[in-house]
Chains A and B, each alone.
Chain A
Amino acid sequence: MSIVAEKVSVEFGGLRALEDVSIAVRPGRVEALIGPNGAGKSTLLNVLSGFVKPTGGKVYVGDLDLTRAGSHQRALNGIARSFQTPRFVPHMSVEENVLIGFFPRVGGRLLPPVVGTRRHRHEEEAIRDRTRALLEEFELTEVADTPAADVPLWRLRMLEIARAMALDPQYILLDEPAAGFDEQERDLLSRQIARLTEAGVGVLLVEHNFGLIKSVSSHVTVLAQGKFLADGDPAEIDSHPEVVEVYLGKEEH
């Protein structure tokens, strides 16, 4: 069961951010989404995660139509995401920031924690255990109790992915997770992504770094100026003439 965007268009006050774009994210595979700045990659990701409502087209998970569903409902349907600039609660610790990822799985009812039911205490214990495991997986154990505001960027990106994983999602949408990373950090990231796919999660990877894309993804979609330009496996795209031109053309002239 894939998450599919079908002929999606987005218009903001006369500006066409996306025009008839389709993309599919399959379980256990990494779908890469590339394109020059302003191509509409983040917009498409926002449509898939429910932060932008398309003016045309549809979004499906399996046969469930999510097009008009609110952003919080994406999470409820197994779609997690990260953000280009990491979002977190600065005065909560890294561990607590990952804990909020469990929200849909334990529910937000106020009475169980307030009354202190046994079930709630045991649930809280379970998610703390799971969080500790996630922190270790994403190399965050050292900073578990540090306020998130005091933690370096690469750890914040790991935090975002760990938090996304807390949902036990079927799909993760990653928005430029490797921006500002050095090679070592990129390697760490590609290992994490590989683990995600091994676990059967479908990944959408919006990225600029083609090396990273080649190492993890099975399929690449290229956008330019809000429109579909090309797609194929990484090797094909690497040598695709139009893609090369759209990325390098401006520099030549």
Chain B
Amino acid sequence: MRYVVAFGRFWWDFVVGDDWTVAAGVAVALGAVAVLADAGINAWWLLPLAVALLTGISVWRQASSSSDDDYHVSG
């Protein structure tokens, strides 16, 4: 069982990495694109915009947490 968990954790870290919200956001955006396409709307613009938004939020949040860490270390 321990090996199965370790194997699963390895692949989770490998593909998803340190911010699961980005992966969840990508899944939601892809689902929305598919629903819109099914309704006859060619929403080619949606995924790039979602990717930019998710990336921006993720890096800003990581930068904030590393700034907080620096602050606590030096303070």
Q: Do A and B bind? A: no
Chain A residues with CB under 8 Å of chain B are none
